[in-house]
Each structure stands twice: as C-alpha cells, then as structure tokens.
Structure 1
Amino acid sequence: MRIYLDYVSSTPVLPEVRAAMAEALEKGANPSSIHQAGQKARERLEKARKQVAALIHAKPAEIYFTSCGTESNNWALRGLMAANKRKGNHISVSAIEHPSVSLVARRLELEGAAKVTILPVDGDGIVSAQALKQLLTPQTVLVSVMLANGEVGTIEPIKEMAAIAHEQGALFHTDAIATVGHNPVDVKALGVDALSMSANQFYGPPGAAALFVRDGVRILPLLEGGGQETGARSGTEALPAIVGMGAAAEIAKRELPSRMARLSMLRDRLRDGLKERIEGLRLNGSWSSRLPHNLHICIDGVSSESLVLGLDQAGIAAGLGSACNSKSMRPSHVLKAMGLTDEQAKGALVLSLGEQTTEKEIDRALELIPSVVQKLRNVTALTAR
C-alpha cells in the first residue's frame, strides 16, 4: 500500500475532470477563431470561467486565466504596481509569502519600482493586522498577504487586513492558491482586490490557474501579444486544462462541506495519534484558524530530508518544508519567521490529506511514521558516538 500525504504540493486529477478535459482535447479549436468550431471552444472557455467564478463568489468577467499560480502572483504584483504608480511605490508583503510573491517584491525594489516592507508573523504564523496599520503610508499602493499558508496551514485575517489597506487607499491582493477548493472563499466578503488560485491545488490539472481582479481595479498586462482574456493576458488559452479547472471548481463547490468535515476528522486523528506515539514532536501553525487537510510537525532528533526519504521507502509520500522549495535544504523561511530556531526547524514535515485519503491509510501511517522516526534516531545515536 502506497500512502500519499503530499496533497499540498499537488493533487491528483479527478476522473470527472479528466473526462471533461478529454472531450475538450478531442474537439480542439482555438477560442479566438470565428468559425463554428472556434465558437464552440469559446463556449467551453466561458463555461469554465463561470464555474471558477462561482467557486469564489466572483463575477465571470473578473476571472482571468493564466498558466500557473506563480504567473498569477507575478502578474498581480507587477500589474497592480505598474497600473497604480501615480499613488506611490510602496508595497507590503508578509514574511511567510510564497517566493512568487516575496521574490517579485524584492525584484521590483531592485529595479527601483517599489519600496518594500515586510509584515511580521507571530508564533502561529498569523500576520498582525495592527502591524499592517502601522506600516501603511500614503504612498502604499499594494498589500499582498496569502489567505492561508500551504506549509503550516494557518489561515490569515484577510478581511480585517483588506479593510485596513483600503482605509489608506491601498489595494489588497491575496495568494489563495493553498486555500481555494479546501476552505470557503468569498471575494466579496473578504473585500480583496485581487486573488490568485491554481487548478492543480484542488484536483484540477497543472497548466491552468487564474487571477481574480475586482471590477474597476486597474491592472497592466504581464504578457503582451494577441490580446486574449479581453486584452489582459495574451497567449492562446490552454483550453483542455482550463476546462479541467472549471470542472474541478464545480466539484469543489458542490463537495466542499463534506470534504472539509471528513479531512479535518482524519487530520485530527493523525495528529493525536502521532502526539501519543512520538516524543519530541511539535505542532506548528494555528489550530483555531487552519486549513482542514494540513498537518505540520517538527520532530526532534531527525532531519527533514532523512525523514521524507525514510517514509518514502516505507510507502508514504510526505512533504519536505515548502512544496515549491524542496530542493533548497535550507530551514523553511516560514518556520524561521515564526520564531523557530534552525535546530527546531530541522525535522519539519508536512503531512497533507486529500480526496483519496482513507481511515485505513491514516491507521497505517500511524504505524509506519513512528517506526521510521525511531530507526532514524537510532542511526543518529550510533553515528554520534
């Protein structure tokens, strides 16, 4: 039995999604073409746009398709800053953002296009709304804080922070890539001006993502070309992937309540079982405001790399720190921002559950994970002599 507990890095494509994509692949045609086949392709594109919009309570015209979450985040920061530079050049991002936000902000500063301030987080990874209020200036153009952190699972007080940003006349973007399809998202209730999302995080295909931009908000294109997506994002739409994203969004909207209840129950079972079986285990992230499928732990006496490789040999796929930075082998910047030392962060492990996770798999994981930890600790003790 292979057990997949790495849903934060990517989710498997659901059968209904694959079927919708197969039909789109078979039909072919470019949505920009004016002949009948092209117009049928346009209909499939716009249906997907409506499905994605419905999932986050947006208008279809506020949804722009992109190729991935990284593109959506890059476009949000660069496009919003460029379109609104008359107001100023200040941007504020949190200390736990994905590199597709934090590195873009840094690049804008190096280019002389922005002045960047970093919002600190507390020990649970929660951004302080009061800290944001103190950092805002009349020159603040944009604030970008993720809706939830995919690594430690903490959900941020975005509604409160967006309101504070708007009081200063600033725009608010949130990276919701880890959240959409796993927790309810309502862009109207949140009050955000832009929101990033990606299909491969909620059982859709890689290659399709979207950026929500609130009606009336000015944003400049990141990609120039043929003027697709009403001129906002050029490039022929990856229709089969987008159709898959639409199908996945419709399924998520329908099944989200039951999905959340089942996964949070299984996650808590895994959490409690590991706490009972493993000494020196630390739980990370907030437990009062958390993604339902996420469990992040640090284990004393083992390294993250050894733990992930050992679990893989035992039949469990688990996450090593940040899913998009697993080659780095440096302590997680998220855990460092939360105040953990290098030694405390050394044994970090992300266990994330999904649609195909079963009680039987959780029970088996509770047998295997403590066993692997003990073996690694034994090896460490021997080599330390």
Structure 2
Amino acid sequence: MTAAIYLDHNATTPIRPAALDAMAEAARAVGNPSSVHAAGRAARGRLEAARGQVAALVDRPAGQLVFTSGGTEADALAIVGSGRARLLVSAVEHDAVLAVAGDAARIAVDAEGRVDLADLERRLASGDGPALVSVMWVNNETGVVQPVAEVVRLAHAAGALVHVDAVQGAGRLDPAALAGADLIALSAHKIGGPSGVGALLVGPGATLRALALGGGQERGRRSGTENLPGIAGFGVAAAMAAADGPRETERLRALRDRLEAALPAAAPEARVLGAGADRVATTCLGLPGVPAETQVMTLDLAGIAVSAGSACSSGKVKRSHVLAAMLGDDPLAGQAIRISLGWTTAEAEIDGFLAAWRAMRDRLSPAARAA
C-alpha cells in the first residue's frame, strides 16, 4: 500500500515526470556512447548534455564529473580513489562514508550536530602526512547544514583535501558553499531523478585512482558502459532542481516551520534535534519514552511514511550514530523520527501528519499518560 502522506524525501523523492520521460527516450534510442558511428555519437551527445546539467547543479565544469551508480559509490570512489591514507571524517557522516573510512579519526560535533572546527583543526595539526577530510554538506538524519567553507579553509591550510557528501544539499542550498571542495558526491534519486545513478566531481587539486577498470569510460576514472537512461533522467532532474532554486527551498522551510510551531502545544515533552542550527526542510523529532521503531510503524499504519535514522541500512531501524554523537547516552537518540519534505510536499500533508502524530503521542507517550 502506498502511503497517503509521504514525508521521507531524504530517503528518496518521487521521480519528476520530465526525468522519467527523458529516461524513456534514452532507453528507446540505440547506441553505445563509446561507439563512433552515428547512433553512438547521438548517445554520446545525450551523455555529455546530462553531464553538463548535473555539473551545473553544483556550479562545476562538466569535465570534473564522473558518473557512478549512486552516492554510495561516489563516496567510496572519493575516499579510496584519492589515495590519501590518513582520513578524518565527521562523527555524523553517512554510513557510506563511515564503512569505507573504517577506524579513521572521527571529528567531534556539538549538541546541534555541527562539526567542531576546533577539533578538526587540532586533528589536522597532530597527524602525519596529508589527509583527506570528509564532511557532509547536509546531514541526512537531522537536516543540519555543515560549515563546509570553514572546513575547506582549515583543511587546505594544512595541506588536506576535502570530500563532501553533497547528496542531501544539492538542489537545496547555494553551491557557492562548495567552491573549495576537492571531491563532491551526488545522487540522482534525492532530487527527483532515478535510483541507481550518481556522480563524483573531482576538482583540479585532487587526483583520482579508478576502482573499476576495463574499457576506460569516464575518462578512465570509472570503466563500464554508462547507464544512459538513468543519466538522462539525472540530467533533467538536476536542471529542474537548479531552476527551482531558493524559492523551493524557502517554501519547504516554511512548511517545516509550520510543523514545528505546532509541536509545543501538542506535546511539550517533544524535542526537535538540531533545532539551533541552520537546517534544510527536515525535522528530527524526539518523543521521549517511545522507541523510534514504534513511532515509524504506528505512523505507517496511519498511512504516513517517515523514517528513523538512515534509510540506507537494509531496512533496519537501529540506534542512530548521528544522534548518539550529538546526545551521548541520552535515550532520546533511539526515540527520534525523521520527517523530511520534498518537491511534492503540500500543506495538507503537514496537517495530516500533525493529526496522526498527536493521536500517536496521546496514546503512547509516557508524558501524555501521566497528565
């Protein structure tokens, strides 16, 4: 059953009809972009047009862009392909980064989930050899915007490269914040494109060792025949996201603010995590005494789709490492859900969520039962 109210856009957002049309057109056409005949040249034209559209989303030259199978591969390619043995990653990075980084040093965050710049500076100064610093643009669980420009300034002063997982920020924020980043990961299905396609931008200060070898596609940086239908959809979605610009970002923030303004009267014990930081249209909402999994399941039965933690963990609901880094041992780290808005979100969905959430709170919250 499809959710009547879909508020899980940070997990994936509905595909834009124009992107779907572009995919169908590309799929119907015959031709390998590496072939030199007319059909191959036409396919190459579609590929390069999309490359320009996606690169423009983060204000980068098309020649810097390498198409991948998604944000996860783009992150792995950046970290492993950079050749930097010394890694510094924020404690709130996506699992796609943490899994590849292994036991790399974790940069602390404050109670709002923002990177501790003083801790980063200390770690940069104390280690041996050139580092790769990995800090995401927007946190996927809280929507908190990280100080990427300041991270870049500190890292470059210490001779380090900077990798930014920009999956949740692209199309939502001003790409000027990424101007100094050396490696930038993107994903199509977060902006209204298809699943299974992403990209890595490689700046002039970075070198990249290919992980997939073979035919030398993507200028030798990722071999394998490109997913042309997916890439075509990605390009159109990127162009539309860029055109929507600040207007759509502000519309969604206004809807988020409307949701959060209703919470104190409905549930004084509830807490919005990261509320003191700059955020995109995401609300990480803690309800003390009610496990996150219970909240997600209860709302799902009411026809409302939300998440707890990351949606990229094989369907598991577990204690969030992001919230643990922010809150320490506070049990609220296991009692928060994520409400994330996107291009299809309307006011009526906010009202519907609030009604269902109030009913759930009144039935399940220890504070409500004690009143």
- TM class by shorter chain equals over 0.9
Note if 1:169 corresponds to 2:166: no
Gaps of 5+ in 2: none
Among candidates 195, 202, 223, match of residue 212 of structure 2: 223
Q: What amino acid does structure 1 have at the position aligned with 2:89? A: V
Rounded to whole Å, the distance in 2 between the matches of 1:286 and 1:254 is: 28
2:293 alignment partner in structure 1: 305
Whether contact under 8 Å (2:7, 2:340) holds in the other structure is: yes
1:76 alignment partner in structure 2: 78
Rounded to whole Å, the distance in 2 between the matches of 1:90 and 1:170 is: 9
Rounded to whole Å, the distance in 1 between the matches of 2:131 and 2:222 is: 22
Could you say what secondary structure the match of 1:338 adopts? helix
Among candidates 25, 32, 42, match of residue 40 of structure 1: 42
Whether contact under 8 Å (1:303, 1:347) holds in the other structure is: yes
Q: Deviations over 1:132-180 (max 9, x none)?
A: 1110134132111111101011111111111111111111111111111
Q: How does 1:276-295 map to 2 (within 5 A)?
A: 276-291=265-280, 293-295=281-283
Q: What amino acid does structure 2 have at the position aligned with 1:124? A: E
Whether contact under 8 Å (1:331, 1:342) holds in the other structure is: no
Residue 327 and residue 16 in structure 1: after superposition, are their counterparts in 2 closer, same or farther (change >3 A)?
Answer: closer
Among candidates 106, 112, 133, match of residue 124 of structure 1: 112
Runs of 4+ in 1 over 3 A off after TM superposition: 326-329
Q: How does 1:33-182 map to 2 (within 5 A)?
A: 33-81=35-83, 89-106=85-102, 116-136=104-124, 137-182=127-172
Q: How does 1:179-218 map to 2 (within 5 A)?
A: 179-186=169-176, 190-218=179-207
Q: What amino acid does structure 1 have at the position aligned with 2:100? A: V
Aligned residues, how many?
366
Could you say what secondary structure the match of 1:325 adopts? coil
**Deviates most, 67-76 or 316-325:** 316-325
Q: Deviations over 1:313-343 (max 9, x none)?
A: 1111111222223744331000000024352
Whether contact under 8 Å (2:76, 2:100) holds in the other structure is: yes
Could you say what secondary structure the match of 1:312 adopts? helix
Whether contact under 8 Å (2:327, 2:333) holds in the other structure is: no
Q: How does 1:315-334 map to 2 (within 5 A)?
A: 315-325=303-313, 327-334=315-322
Rounded to whole Å, the distance in 2 between the matches of 1:366 and 1:223 is: 47
Task: Give the TM-score normalised by structure 1.
Answer: 0.91
1:4 alignment partner in structure 2: 6
Give the C-alpha shift of residue 381 in structure 1: 6.7
Rounded to whole Å, the distance in 2 between the matches of 1:168 and 1:186 is: 22
Note if 1:13 corresponds to 2:15: yes
**Deviates most, 46-55 or 137-146:** 137-146
**Deviates most, 46-55 or 365-374:** 365-374
The percent of aligned pairs where both chains have the same amino acid is: 41
Task: Give the TM-score normalised by structure 2.
Answer: 0.94
Residue 127 and residue 154 in structure 1: after superposition, are their counterparts in 2 closer, same or farther (change >3 A)?
Answer: same
Give the C-alpha shift of residue 287 in structure 1: 3.9
2:324 alignment partner in structure 1: 336
Whether contact under 8 Å (1:91, 1:105) holds in the other structure is: yes
Q: What amino acid does structure 2 have at the position aligned with 1:346? A: G
Rounded to whole Å, the distance in 2 between the matches of 1:324 and 1:294 is: 17
Q: Deviations over 1:49-82 (max 9, x none)?
A: 000111111000001100011100000000002x
Rounded to whole Å, the distance in 2 between the matches of 1:340 and 1:269 is: 29
Could you say what secondary structure the match of 2:196 adopts? coil
Rounded to whole Å, the distance in 1 between the matches of 2:226 and 2:163 is: 24
